[in-house]
Copies of this chain bind each other. A is one copy, B any other.
Amino acid sequence: MALHPDRFFSPEPSQRQVARLLYAHVADLPLVCPHGHVDPRLFAEPAYQFESPLALIVLPDHYLLRMLYSQGVPLESLGVPTLDGTPYERDPRRAWRRFAEHFYLFRGTPSGIWLTHIFESIFGIQERLSAETADLFYDHIAARLAQPDFQPRHLYDRFKIEVLCTTDTATDTLEHHMAIRQSGWHGRILPTFRPDSVINLDTPDWRANIEQLSACSGIYIHDYRTFIQALETQRTFFRSMGAVASDHGAASPYTEHLSYAEANFIFQRALRGTISADEARRFTGHMLIESARMSAEDGLVMQLHVGSWRNHNPRLLRRFGRDKGADIPQIAEFTRNLKPLLDAFGDDLRLTLIVFTLDESTYARELAPLAGHYPALKLGAPWWFHDSLNGMARYFDQVMETCGIYNTAGFNDDTRAFLSIPARHDLWRRAACNWLAGLVVRGIVDESDAAEMAVELAVGLARRAYRL
């Protein structure tokens, strides 16, 4: 199907008309991408070429894999490599056909929206993907991938990206970022400091991660004090490489201040491999406060993503590894859990803490009220499953009345699917303009206010929240 010029707008003519006008203001603004998971390697090699339509579009996208798997399509048949020696489809074209046969599953889903946008606006294909058209799509896309103007650096410009932040583990040497800077290319690809694998003491291979942290920081970590020093050293390194933010993932937003002695006691037990689940939880809660302290001091914006139960399906994890679509959200609670952190740094104007949730019941009940009071707190964009048309509508509906747009951090695309970035910003901008148009036609804001707000939501809030 062809992309509808008024897609995602209310069908009501007066609202649609206002939405269209507002969208015209923001449609061509550059894309500000302060949080995502694109591989920096794409930009490190000037002539980087994507491998195959399958490797480009299907394999890295856990949204696609989960939906196909839920309908009984074995991941092996989609060409997902196995870790346990089970045979899997090696022919990317045959795996692509399996995907194409099941494309109807994505009707009415964000994946359907993004893929339709990619096929039409990036590859110029207006057909519908299906068993019949699988090869046509495959051939056409494969041919495009081979052309020089399809190299990521060209696409970066074509997409009008202003800045793209990646997510990099705390022990990363940032070699690709280094290569990008040294190449003299004008693109702005920035690393983000993600210390989960050393902060969450129950991470698999935590001991090895600590050794890596020792190695890359040059600080021999043997107690809590040296651990903190090493983290601070790496933060300094990341900042020197352009980082503007850190990112933290946790099962819950639990925070608790531990004394030095307690923190060191737990850390030492972790070094000896005798940590309990509760100790790990408390240590993470303490390190969130400690990370807020570091952020207040060094200026890295602190992002906190909570509520994902990673690798919920152990059978899938054993066979295929992480990030295959088996992470499941959980209930979250912020009013009580964040209080120790907010007691310490909630009023600190040096800190920006951006919180993301998977539990929408916390939007109106906890997060908007908290962000509408604490100067340090901002509410992040609708995350993951909620990064969708209805998810955005619910976010605007439940958040904005209480904290206003100015206590939110605008949009981020949060994707590892580079090609989907324009589609995701387009969806957000249209959803935002449609929401604003709804305010205008209901007499709540006037068109000039709405136009300013549209620009803020498209680029301004993200730029300011992330100090870009």
Shortest CB-to-CB span from A115 to chain B, Å, is 12
A342 at the interface (CB under 8 A from B): yes
Stretch at the interface among A5-13, A82-90, A167-175: A5-13
Q: Is the CB of A349 within 8 A of B72?
A: yes
Q: Are B313 and A347 in contact (CB under 8 A)?
A: yes
Contacts of A333 in B (CB 8 A): 331
Instruction: State the CA gap A184–B109 with chains docked (Å).
Output: 46
A205-237 interface with B by 8 A CB criterion: none
> Are B328 and A312 in contact, with the CB atoms below 8 A?
no
- Say whether A265 faces chain B, with CB atoms less than 8 Å apart: no
A443 and B4 in contact, given A107-B453, A328-B369, A391-B401 (Cβ under 8 angstroms)? yes
Given A313-B346, A335-B328, A347-B315, does the pair A403, B11 have CB atoms closer than 8 Å?
no
With A347-B315, A347-B316, A401-B385 already in contact, the answer to whether A364 and B371 are too (CB < 8 A) is: no
Q: Is the CB of A3 within 8 A of B443?
A: yes
When the two chains form the complex, which single residue of B9, B69, B330 contacts A373, counting CB atoms closer than 8 Å? B69
Contacts of A312 in B (CB 8 A): 335, 339, 342, 373
Instruction: Tell me, rounded to whole Å, the shortest Cβ–Cβ distance linking A278 to chain B.
Output: 16
A105 at the binding interface (Cβ < 8 Å): yes
Nearest residue (CB) in B for A445 is B107
Q: Does A71 contact B (CB under 8 A)?
A: yes
Ordered nearest first, which 5 A-B pairs have the shortest CB separation? A4-B443, A7-B443, A11-B441, A361-B361, A388-B401
- With an 8 A cutoff between CB atoms, is A204 at the interface? no
Taking a contact as CB atoms under 8 Å apart, the answer to whether B361 and A112 are in contact is: no
Q: Taking the complex as formed, is A161 at the interface, i.e. its CB lies under 8 A from any CB of chain B?
A: no
A residues 75-127 in Cβ contact with B at 8 Å? 104-110, 112-113
Residues of B near A105 (CB, < 8 A) are 404, 406
A372 CB–B CB distance under 8 Å: yes
The reply on A389 being an interface residue by CB < 8 A is yes
A-B contact pairs, 25 of them (CB 8 A): A1-B445, A3-B443, A4-B443, A7-B442, A8-B442, A12-B12, A66-B372, A66-B373, A67-B403, A69-B375, A70-B371, A70-B407, A104-B406, A105-B406, A109-B402, A110-B401, A112-B444, A309-B336, A313-B342, A328-B366, A330-B365, A330-B366, A331-B333, A359-B361, A364-B385
User: Which of A14, A70, A335, A446 neighbours the largest number of chain B CB atoms within 10 Å of its CB?
Assistant: A70
